[in-house]
């Protein structure tokens, strides 16, 4: 039996409630990373879109402002506003480096599998996938090669979700590894996976809805031009950062409850 049993509903409710109760500070902390992400998106839009690789490159670059925001936000959750430190986006410290390294340990393999999946499938004409379309041997070959990679990608996501809460430890300068995250989460693994999956999925859905709504409104007022696209990206990125804040809050709460961490206190031993 786990030493501390986590509550699925309690963690989800606390995570969303915490973000909505601190929207003022959220806007204060997210401003510079939000602008940086928009700049990366604008630069990314200049690249050719013959494949999904430019999108993956853009997402990799966007991890820099995302890490800056997550470190500050998780320090706020666990240490309070007086110990956030530098405003995110004004500099890069060894703390952000350690956080990024920890993130790569958790999700780097998943990202590589996603890239391999994209490279294996390549560009596929949607018409060839329609019902009744003649089977293309080349597409069938690509799908056969991509299937095990897709399975590995799915499994790696589940494993990454289980240990990702350890990022909160790195944000507050506590030495922590994915191996320790795995050990502390015994007995609570599916609760952690379920909470973080629900939070990330909710954030993705909210971002999609925001994109569609804002795009429809801006196109109706401004037409299908660059200005409509920029406004849409701006709104979508802000909503996406809101989802990131909820996920970072959930990770911080899971870390605090699982290891019994409190400011100035020693982390409880692995049960």
Q: How far is CA 136 from the centre of its chain?
A: 36
- Dihedrals φ, ψ of 263, to 5°? -55, 125
Give the tens place of pLDDT for each residue, 180-224: 999 999 989 999 999 999 999 999 999 999 999 988 888 777 776
Average the pLDDT over 108-133 and give the result. 66
Instruction: Note whether 44 and 58 are within 8 A (CB).
Output: yes
Q: How many domains does the chain have?
A: 1
- Dihedrals φ, ψ of 173, to 5°? 65, 25
- For residue 194, being part of any structural domain is answered with yes
Instruction: Note whether 142 and 124 are within 8 A (CB).
Output: yes
Range of the domain at 53: 8-259
- For residue 139, being part of any structural domain is answered with yes
Cα–Cα distance, 25 to 83 (Å, whole number): 13
Average the pLDDT over 73-81 and give the result. 94
How would residue 129 be classed by pLDDT, with cut points 50, 70 and 90?
very low
pLDDT at residue number 50: 67
Residue 133 has pLDDT above 60, yes or no: no
- For residue 196, being part of any structural domain is answered with yes
Strand residue runs (E) in 190-234: none
- For residue 121, being part of any structural domain is answered with yes
- What's the DSSP call for residue 4? S
- For residue 271, being part of any structural domain is answered with no
- For residue 56, being part of any structural domain is answered with yes
Q: What is the pTM of this model?
A: 0.86
- For residue 1, being part of any structural domain is answered with no
Give the tens place of pLDDT for each residue, 43-76: 888 877 666 677 778 888 999 999 999 999 999 9
Quick one: which of 214, 198, 202, 212 has its CA closest to 243?
Answer: 202
Give 49: exposed, middle or buried? Use CB within 10 Å, 0-12, 13-18, 19+.
Answer: exposed
- For residue 265, being part of any structural domain is answered with no
Cα–Cα distance, 107 to 23 (Å, whole number): 28
């Amino acid at each position: 039996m786990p030493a501390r049993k986590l509550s699925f509903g309690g963690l989800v409710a606390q995570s969303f409630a915490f973000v909505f109760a601190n929207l003022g500070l959220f806007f204060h902390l997210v401003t510079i990373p939000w602008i940086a992400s928009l700049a990366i998106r604008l630069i990314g839009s200049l690249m050719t879109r013959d494949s999904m690789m430019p999108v993956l490159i853009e997402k990799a670059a966007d991890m820099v402002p995302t890490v800056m925001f997550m470190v500050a936000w998780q320090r706020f959750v666990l240490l309070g506003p007086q110990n956030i430190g530098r405003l995110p986006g004004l500099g890069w410290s060894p703390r952000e480096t350690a956080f990024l390294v920890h993130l790569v340990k958790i999700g780097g393999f998943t990202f590589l599998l996603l890239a391999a999946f994209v490279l294996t499938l390549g560009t596929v004409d949607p018409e060839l996938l329609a019902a009744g379309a003649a089977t293309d041997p080349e597409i069938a070959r690509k799908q056969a090669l991509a299937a095990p990679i897709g399975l590995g990608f799915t499994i790696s996501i589940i494993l990454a979700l289980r240990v990702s809460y350890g990022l909160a430890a790195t944000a507050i300068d506590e030495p922590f590894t994915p191996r320790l995250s795995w050990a502390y989460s015994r007995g609570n693994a599916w609760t952690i996976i379920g909470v973080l999956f629900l939070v990330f999925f909710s954030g993705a859905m909210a971002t999609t809805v925001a994109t569609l709504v804002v795009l429809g409104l801006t196109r109706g007022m401004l037409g299908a031009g660059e200005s409509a696209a920029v406004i849409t990206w701006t709104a979508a990125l802000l909503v996406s950062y809101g989802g990131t804040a909820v996920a970072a809050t959930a990770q911080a709460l899971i870390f605090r409850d699982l290891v019994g961490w409190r400011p100035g206190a020693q982390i409880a031993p692995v049960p």
